Structure 1
Amino acid sequence: MFKYIDFEPDARKALEEGSAIVALESAGAFEGIPYPENRDTIQTLANHVRNIGAIPAHIVIKGGRIKVGLSDEEIEDFAKRQGELIKASRRDIPMLIAQKKDAVMTIAATMLIADLVGIKVVAGGGIGGVHRGAETTMDISADLEELAVSNVVCVCSGAKSILDLGLTMEYLETKSIPVIGYGTDKLPAYMARESDFNVDYRADDVETIARAFDVKMALKLEGGLLVTNPIPEEYAVNASEMNRAIDKAVKEAVWDDIKGKNITPFLLRSVKAQMGAESVEAQKHLRLNNAELAAKIAKALP
């Protein structure tokens, strides 16, 4: 069917039958949570998606082949190799396949492959965006560019708090990407339930989101819908504490001259080190929450 893509049997069957399936971002799932909690979280997440009636499909590169859906053995293998795996975005895929490498995929790469194979709903943690200081560095995540051209519903907990959320919202508007808040009028800020910025539209049920996506496709309006889903309240971190941690991390990055593709992992590691176990729990539960919502949307699509 596709020259460089292999499908886990349940994922292949779901695509052939047109049944509900969710593409799951692998970079944050495998790399953002320590082993063995990453493995356990991924397996729990997959079970939750299945219980709702959809098929979970983490997407990775293994031995130079794109894998859509993973076996338990493959999940264990990737989870144990935390810190060793390459993080792939759109630009990396051709060379990594040519060199027969293993890699986990960013939200951008996940959306690209999902759209290519016909998966309509993608779930991740927090979407990338416009970095602080981007007016001089031009550091803008490929996630935003991909969302502008991939025909998917992307479910996440808003943009990562380390970003310039105001500029991120402006960039999304420029790219004609509608930002929908699920049960909220405010843009979630990853591990915090809300930021100071409003979303474009609020939706209180998955049917509305599914209809909006159906309309978008019927009218041939290229690009995706960004559905922002607040982290469950009991696992949310204090926004003020998080902002202090981010400010400190940004200063550390300037001192250490961290730039380019290294900036996001550096900032996330710094914030995680400052906030400790609280941030790990938050990441686990926001991913579970997003996967469950994505599965419900996939079930509601016509």
Structure 2
Amino acid sequence: MNKYLDIALEVQEALENRRPVVALESTIISHGMPYPQNVETAIHVEQVIRDYGAVPATVAIIGGRLKCGLTREEIEYLGKKGTDIVKCSRRDIPVAISKKLDGATTVATTMIIANMAGVKIFATGGIGGVHRGAEQTMDISADLEELGQTPIMVVCAGAKAILDLGLTLEYLETKGVPVIGYGTEELPAFYTRRSGFRVDYQLDTPKELAEAFAAQRGSGLHTGMLVANPIPEEYSMDGEAINGAINEAIKEAAEKGIHGKETTPFLLAKVKDITGGDSLEANIQLVYNNAKIAAQTAVELCNL
């Protein structure tokens, strides 16, 4: 057991008894939306996972402790502090621990902590990736590096639509990460169901996902697996409208000199403003949908 890690009792008991567990990130709580909507969403995501037969394990860093599984009070605390909490990726973990800081975990850091605890499946909204213009800026999310070295299944709605999706897929291929379309041959683009880019494989049931992941683990491969689950049809946004909003947000970010880990929160907030809040509702619904598929897959994995 890692001496810096705290596993919630419910999560620990589930792991010891080979019951399904699904990890959740905390950046969506502190940086994804305003209070109290962020807390309400986080609690509801946990309930979706319970409804489909698994135990939720929301991940964060609190007072320098790596947490796998949070109490309601801890979720409330993160939600109220919001963007005052450090957004923690892999590079931030040592100082967050040594300085006893609070940290909201990104996809990469959630994967690390979940893997320490023994949780195999993680549900999120969308992963980070290669940013548009990365050939000049070299702005590539640490999420991709983590997928290349940490054996966790990540269920998402594709890469965030603010990214260069084609280059993101190329990067994942280089890292040996299989990109699985859940019921689709095409990579979903977060707010929309289609991107024009093909995934590596299409699988159509949670049992198939579990079998593929078990084969990956059993064969000694230490990469992650990315499952791209399209946003439900009724919440999918118009592709032309959302891309127009994204292009406008990217232009403003460049004009303001915003870069690094501040880029994604700025762009998502700007797109929300431009779309009149429609993008936030879409974001919430796709997270619920991913939690459902992740829980169903976790159950099937335990049944193998």
TM-score, length of structure 2 as denominator length: 0.97
Gaps of 5+ in 2: none
Aligned: 1:170 with 2:196: no
Q: Which residue of 1 aligns with 2:253?
A: 253
Aligned: 1:110 with 2:110: yes
Greater than 3 Å deviation, 4+ residue runs: none
Alignment map for 1:255-294 (pairs within 5 Å): 255-294=255-294
Gaps of 5+ in 1: none
Alignment map for 1:62-211 (pairs within 5 Å): 62-211=62-211
Equivalent pairs, count: 302
Q: Is the 8 A contact 2:183 2:202 kept in 1?
A: yes
Secondary structure of residue in 2 paired with 1:81: helix
Distance 1:40 1:261 in 2: 25
Q: Is the 8 A contact 2:30 2:85 kept in 1?
A: no
Q: Which residue of 1 aligns with 2:19?
A: 19
Moved more, 35-44 or 144-153: 35-44
Summarize deviations over 1:220-242 as a string: whole Å, max 9, x none. Answer: 01111100011111112111111
Secondary structure of residue in 1 paired with 2:66: strand
Q: Is the 8 A contact 1:33 1:283 kept in 2?
A: no
Aligned: 1:226 with 2:226: yes
Q: Which residue of 2 aligns with 1:300?
A: 300
Deviation of 1:27 (Å):
0.5
Distance 2:11 2:131 in 1: 35
Q: 1:138 to 1:244 in 2, by over 3 A?
A: same
Distance 1:29 1:127 in 2: 15
Sequence identity (%): 51
Distance 2:262 2:34 in 1: 19
Moved more, 257-266 or 95-104: 257-266
Q: Is the 8 A contact 1:33 1:284 kept in 2?
A: no
Deviation of 1:30 (Å):
3.5
Q: Is the 8 A contact 2:31 2:265 kept in 1?
A: no
Q: Is the 8 A contact 2:30 2:83 kept in 1?
A: no
Secondary structure of residue in 2 paired with 1:91: helix
Summarize deviations over 1:243-295 as a string: whole Å, max 9, x none. Answer: 00111111112212222222222211211111122112111111111111111
Distance 2:174 2:239 in 1: 27
Secondary structure of residue in 2 paired with 1:83: helix
Q: 1:30 to 1:290 in 2, by over 3 A?
A: farther
Q: Which residue of 2 aligns with 1:214?
A: 214
Distance 1:88 1:299 in 2: 29
Distance 1:109 1:244 in 2: 31
Q: CA-atom RMSD, angstroms?
A: 1.1
Distance 2:104 2:71 in 1: 15
Distance 2:277 2:256 in 1: 25
Secondary structure of residue in 2 paired with 1:155: strand
Moved more, 232-241 or 146-155: 232-241
Q: Which residue of 2 aligns with 1:50?
A: 50
Distance 2:269 2:113 in 1: 27
Summarize deviations over 1:55-96 as a string: whole Å, max 9, x none. Answer: 000100111101111111111111111121111001101100
